[in-house]
Structure 1
Amino acid sequence: MKEGGKSELISWIQSVAIAFVIAIVIRQFLFTPVVVSGQSMQPTFENDNKIVISKVYKIDRFDMIVFHAPDSEDNFIKRVIGLPGDVVVMNNDKLYINGVEYEEDYVQENKAGIFEGQKLTQDFKVEVPEGYLYVLGDNRRNSTDSRIIGFIDEKSVIGSVKFRFYPFREMGIPK
């Protein structure tokens, strides 16, 4: 091999190695792709939607997060409803956090599919302890969330949902 060809090959190998290291660092510490499994976040996410989560985040109320589920090998995706110290009340399908009523636009499609007089979400009242979150799925009638598994330790959060990249027709920042 000629000297010029050898240095060209070394240059390519170095470039590929650097790109590989950068990709690993980004995936390990900044962003990672996740495939949604199940129906608990319908209609916001469907089964097999592909999303990107950020591992650098500040969790706010109504953010969608991915976390290690307690007593399970699975990771769950849910919406944060209660932050540490919040008093969360659901009364007649109306959400109150610290005494303030919040509209939940993301559940309206599911609410439209139930019979008059039925509730989408059963009534409850909880106070979120320090270091924990209260999460609910958007598909309230078919979601294993804090109503069943309890509060979510903030340390179990893997990341916050930032972008949907599949299906392509729904690509973008989820609401």
Structure 2
Amino acid sequence: MSETTKKEVYSWFKSIVFAFIVAFICRHFLFSPAIVYGESMLPTFQEHDRLLVSKVSDVQRFDLIVFNAPDSDERYIKRVIGLPGDQVEVKDDTLYINGNPMEEPYLEDIKKDLLLDKLTGDFTLEELTGESVVPDGTLFVMGDNRLHSKDSRFFGPIPISSLIGEVKLQIYPIRKIGIPE
């Protein structure tokens, strides 16, 4: 093997190793793919939708997040409803945060198709958890398909430490590529 060929092979090897290192760092520290399983986020996400999750986002109310489920070895995708210190209540199918009614435009499509009167049953955070506000270091989350979602109404607020990241981009199916609402 000539010296020129050896240099070319070594150059290719360095480039491939560098690319793998960059990909590993990006996936481990910056972003990660996720797949939707189940119907808890309908109509926002369908079964087998593919998402890109940012691991460095500052999570805000109504953001879509992926986290390690507190009741299984799965990952859940839900919407942040309550931040630490928030008082959360649903009355007459209206979400109240700290006593203020909140608009939830992402629920309009599912409410149109609703055969029942209410999508979300009445509750207060205190009735569900015994806490008057979302505890420090936790988030209160709910699925958009409130009738078929296992969320903080069942397992309580989730630890922020279980957060994997915020959904930033839907990448599949192709017709739905974009930033989810």
| TM class, shorter-length | over 0.9
Secondary structure of the structure 2 residue equivalent to 1:62:
coil
SS at match of 1:165: strand
Letter in 2 for 1:149: F
Q: Measure, in 2, the Cα distance between the counterparts of 1:57 and 1:170.
A: 22
* Residue of structure 2 in register with 1:39 after alignment: 39
Partner of 1:163: 169
The match for 1:139 among 139, 145, 165 is 145
By how many angstroms is 1:60 displaced?
A: 0.2
The aligned counterpart of 2:123 is 124
Q: What value does the CA root-mean-square deviation take over the aligned residues?
A: 0.9
> How many residues get paired?
174
Matches within 5 A, 1:1-175: 1-115=1-115, 118-126=117-125, 127-175=133-181
Amino acid at match of 2:164: I
What is the rounded CA distance, in whole Å, between the counterparts of 1:149 and 1:112 in structure 2? 28
Q: 1:2: how far off? A: 1.5
**C-alpha distance after superposition, 1:97-116 (max 9, x if no partner):** 11111111111111111236
Distance in 2, matches of 1:59 and 1:108, equals: 23
TM-score, with structure 1 as normaliser: 0.97
CA separation in 1, counterparts of 2:54 and 2:7?
38
**Amino acid in structure 2 at the alignment position of 1:109:** D
Q: How far is the alpha carbon of 1:147 from its aligned partner?
A: 0.7
Aligned-partner residue type, residue 54 of structure 1: S
Q: Which residue does 2:129 correspond to in 1? A: none
Instruction: Quote how far apart the aligned CAs of 1:78 are.
Output: 0.1
TM-score, scaled to structure 2: 0.94
Give CA deviations for 1:1-24 in whole Å, capped at 9, x if unaligned.
221111011000000000001100
Q: CA deviation at 1:150?
A: 1.0
After superposition, the C-alpha distances for 1:71-118 in whole angstroms (9 at most, x for unaligned) are 2101100000000000011111111111111111111111111236x2
Distance in 1 (CA, whole Å) between partners of 2:141 and 2:176 is 24
Gaps of 5+ in 2: 126-132
The runs of 4+ residues in structure 1 deviating greater than 4 Å are: none
Cα deviation per residue 1:124-160 (whole Å; 9 max; x = unaligned)? 1112111111000000111001111111011110111
Gaps in structure 1 of 5+ consecutive residues: none
